[in-house]
Chain A
Amino acid sequence: MINAVGRDIPEEILKRTGKEVFQGVHHFDGHVYRKHGPLTQAVINSEGSKLVDSIHDVLIKCGIKDGMTVSFHHHFREGDLVVNMVMEEIHRMGIKDITICASSLGKAHDPIVPYIEDGTITNIYSSGVRGKIGEAISNGKLKGLAVMQSHGGRVRSLVTGEKQVDIAFIGAPTCDDYGNCRGIGGKSNCGVLSYAMVDSLHANRVVAITDCLVPFPNFPAHISMTRVDYVVVVDAIGDPEKIATGAAKPTTDQRKLMMADYCTKFVVNSPYFKDGFSYQTGVGGASIASTISLAREMKERNIRMRFGVGGLTKPMCDLLINDQVDCLLDTQDFDLDAVESVKDLRHYRISAGQYADPFNKGAVVNKLDFVILAALEVDVNFNCNVVVGSDGVITGAQGGHPDTAAGAKCAIVIAPLLQGRIPAVCTEVTTVTTPGESVDVVITDYGIAINPRRQDLIEAMKDVDLPFKTIEELRNIAYSIAGEPEKVEFQDRIVGIIESRDGTIMDVVRQIKPFEFSEE
């Protein structure tokens, strides 16, 4: 069945998942449903501690068995040790057919690939995967399905009960013996616990894992003891050097700086750039450079930002330090400056649900004026791909891409026209993650294309001195330099789906086919 972005979603997968095809960004606006509540085991006794000796013992207490779903959060990024330590124990216990429901998985989790191959893990829900897990999935090693969810879409699936979690494991930088968790402090300081807040509300069992046990009460708690069943103390939950690195040096890549300048010029000439505007950006070199150049323009033009959202990095936190923004709303910290900034009283922690869940009564993304995003590929319909590499292998994550693009009044995608030889603007993306109806502007080093759906923006820019082109012109320039790429060949087997933030199917991902030269 063809969905709203023109992708043919096979009946087989609709039947298997019980899902519908994607029918447009606002299809479910006004949708009424009843929230799903998790099992809850009351604690009335006053024996006073929820400490359990080991991961093994806590798995027993939680009744781990074949077929269960376990969840994790990714605030420790490439420094995460929690997923591997829990899955190693589950594997050692001989448990099979586990579904992992993680807010994201990265290269840090390469060690779980053997557990995919031997059937310990058979389904994966995640924002995305990188490294060897992506290769394993794309090569058909996962017996079940990989479901790629946006940050908001993940929350929706937990709140509606479409995805139910048996045991949530929450890596907590600090925790007391009764389960009050904080993202701040300890050895594995990650600043916030936004993704895990949702798991703590919706999982049947909630286990806090910490390497820094502090005296009760660990207040103000980011995740309350009232939602936590057990606490396990381990040697290390993360590698601090890989959790939050020093701030990335501002890029000196002239191509990225030029795109950042284009972006800033576009932003300041758009109707939304006025006192009290709101803004979110990612962590790519060009995105960070555009925040820096935007800060300069704001100062010169005496314009103040009302709030910034992230995924935060130093340049965003500098806005707070320099008093150019009223407040920051934070779901994740990417560098040490951002972690440090969490202590500022105008720096607010928000849950992934507050941030982006399309099925609550209005998320922060809906209040965004601008979001600056990246993409692996954008096609002539402005559909973006941020999950599957041009070679067909899963190698990225949805993150908040479709959420913020849907919410923001002006969603800008920055991408160099050629990434190596691969055209970033193409006729048809390998896999759709963010629908073109959400994407307003594409900025490349060879020119800027405004989505024809946004005649208002085209009108607003008509006297602005920027190299405007149509999206087809950008594609043609890319193809004239690199040659038109051949379509990647896939096998029939579906290994994953790209879930839209509303739970429908945006696209499917198939097993890759080894390359063979065509006949001469």
Chain B
Amino acid sequence: MEIKKPAAAGTLESSDCQVTVEAGSGGIEFSLDSAVINQYGNQIRKVAFDTLKNLGVNNVRLTIVDKGALDCTIRARIEAAVYRSVGQTENLPWGGAIRS
């Protein structure tokens, strides 16, 4: 998937994260600000990269401001941001690129 316009998903509430995606400059640019970066920073990055891979996104600037979200939340927010960036809000590939 190609990021078409900047898009965001999520909030800055506790146990949520705010994800922003913008068109990249030829790769994945990842930035993380997390309340739990010391304990879960590597895990969050792994979830982020796995999610992008599932979505087939490889040219993106991904910014996550995390307030202690669980992996499932982080995944969902990234998926939402990416599909918003391409303007797709219906016929989402549940069970496909969007893993349950």
User: Contact residues of A with B, CB < 8 Å?
Assistant: 390-392, 420-422, 481-483, 485-486, 488-489, 515, 517-518
Contact = CB atoms under 8 A, between A and B. Distances in A.
Interface residues of B, number: 17
A420 B35 contact: yes
Nearest to B73: A421
Most buried by A among B36, B39, B70, B71: B39
B39 A486 contact: yes
A420 B45 contact: no
B38 A421 contact: no
Given A391-B36, A422-B36, A481 B42 contact: no
Contacts of B15: 420-421
Contacts of A390: 36, 38-39
Interface in B13-31: 14-15
Contact of B38 (A481, A482, A486, A518): A486
A485 B41 CA distance: 9
Main secondary structure of the interface of A (DSSP, over half): loop
A420 B68 CA distance: 5
Contacts of A391: 36-39
B38 A420 contact: no
Contacts of A486: 38-43
Nearest to A512: B38
Contacts of A489: 38
Contacts of B37: 391, 515
Contacts of A421: 15, 35-36, 39-40, 68-70
A423 to B, nearest CB: 9
A273 B46 CA distance: 50
B5 to A, nearest CB: 28
> Top 4 closest A-B pairs, CB basis?
A420-B68, A485-B39, A421-B68, A488-B38
10 contacts: A390-B36, A390-B39, A392-B38, A420-B15, A421-B69, A421-B70, A481-B70, A483-B71, A485-B40, A488-B38
B61 interface: no
A298 to B, nearest CB: 35
Contacts of B14: 420
A420 B14 CA distance: 7
Contacts of A392: 38
Nearest to A487: B39
Nearest to A426: B39
A395 to B, nearest CB: 12
Nearest to B15: A420
A488 B39 contact: yes
A135 B71 CA distance: 28
A87 to B, nearest CB: 31
Nearest to B43: A483
Contacts of B41: 486, 515, 517
Contacts of A420: 14-15, 35-36, 67-68
Contacts of A481: 70
